[in-house]
Amino acid sequence: MNTGSKPDISREKSAELYEKAKNYFPGGVNSPVRAFKSVYGTPLFIQKGDGCFVWDADGNQFIDFCGSWGPLILGHNNAKVREKVTEVMQSGMSFGAPTALENELAELIIKNNKFVEKIRFTSSGTEAVMSAIRLARGYTGKDKIIKFEGCYHGHTDSLLVKAGSGLVTFGETSSAGVPKSFAQETIVIPLNDTEAIKAAFEQFKGEVAAVIIEGIPANNGLLMQDPEYIKSLEQICKENNALLIFDEVITGFRIGFEGAAAYYGVKPDIVTYGKIIGGGLPVGMYGASAEIMGHISPDGGVYQAGTLSGNPVAMAAGIAQLTELLRSGFYKELNNKATEFAESIQRFATARNYKLKVFHVGSIFWMAFTDKDKIQSAEDIDPASMEKFKLMHRELLNRGIYLGPSGYEVGFVSAAHTKIELEKAKRAIFDSLDVVFRNK
């Protein structure tokens, strides 16, 4: 039974740790969204995670739908991942030299993913995207990149841009420290607008090296694109001798082993992946055909390196995790569970006439305070709706549910979420929505 707003949980120890952290780190954090600027209260300092649960420094237990921002598809502290990592660590943790583990993980990926023939491991998704952009420029001999409003590709200088005014614009820097000249090699256009990309290629004829898009944009809400639109990007790139880059740092190995490329039936020229291939440890990867990857040093003239690339601990975690993902029926079971969860929330909201839409694909979901049936671009999101998310986030924390601390972030269901925990989470979400819509 809904008893209204819940009292705030104790955050005394987290608050103390946060005050101390401010002495060491800008804003007290090592990544901006962790600062809880978009929601109530101070950040939670997480002490441990197990299965679908996390516990903070004050001992509060939460059912977690953040999952380290997606890569923990098996849940926290998975036994098989932990055991493999522990076994490998006995022989050392970093060599800066090749190991057999790199071969083993690469073979697992390449044998089961038709979109890559050769790969290169990196230490983060940002690094993978940065390297993919350099490869595209080196391969094509062109400089300009087309990206889309509402897509985030890490904090690489030339991609950390926002759109100017007009249909087709040069990027404008959205961070201090990014030279204007870097941003002006990036052309920013709206999502879901075929005419805009055609106009961009016409305006910058012969200058565009690549088009980069999140496989399914999921860093600024879950912006589901029409299949016809995604397929048109592939065709337009071919017609203009430009490469299509799919940034699958979030969607890769999450909605299926072959990610959004398989979901849409599109063959990108280069694909980037993130920490899911390292069981949540710092890993990234980019891959393409053997011909395109042949341009990477030492085979070709495009330089990219990394002392910790392919480090044995991350490779071990990746081998254990991806082996589980290849188990027969894994994705069907996980995606069905996530679909039922998302659709149950939607049924509740619809029955109550609440202005809420739950968008989902695979095991990714996003709750948007809107009555629109489709949200396909950044402009479709009402910034005022984030006030409702802010209230819901506090109510959910007080009921033992952890979502990422921003209404623009998506949530993730993991294999560790059982029916019991998902039922508890649904009840908490229902009660929290009742509070939100009673107060607004």
Residues taking part in catalysis: 152, 247, 275
What are the C-alpha distances in Å from 48 to residues 45, 57, 259, 323, 431?
A: 9, 9, 29, 24, 27
Q: Is 247 exposed, middle or buried (0-12, 13-18, 19+ CB in 10 A)?
A: buried
| Residues whose CB falls within 8 Å of the CB of residue 390, separated by 6 or more in sequence, listed in order | 38, 39, 40, 407
Instruction: Find the Cα–Cα–Cα–Cα dihedral 157, 162, 164, 165, rounded to 10°.
Output: 160
**CA–CA gap between residue 119 and residue 310 (Å, rounded):** 11
- What order of strands is seen across the sheet that includes strand 357-361? 357-361, 364-368, 411-412
Residue 364 structure tokens: 């990714």
Q: Do 121 and 289 meet the contact criterion of CB atoms below 8 Å apart? A: no
- Residue 326 corresponds to which tokens in the numbers above? 């290849």
For the purposes of burial, counting CB atoms within 10 Å of the CB of 24, is it exposed (0-12), middle (13-18) or buried (19 or more)?
A: exposed
**Spatial distance between the Cα atoms of 83 and 92, rounded to a whole number of angstroms:** 15
Query: Pick from 249, 306, 312: which is nearest to 122 by CA?
Result: 306
Structure tokens at 407: 């209404």
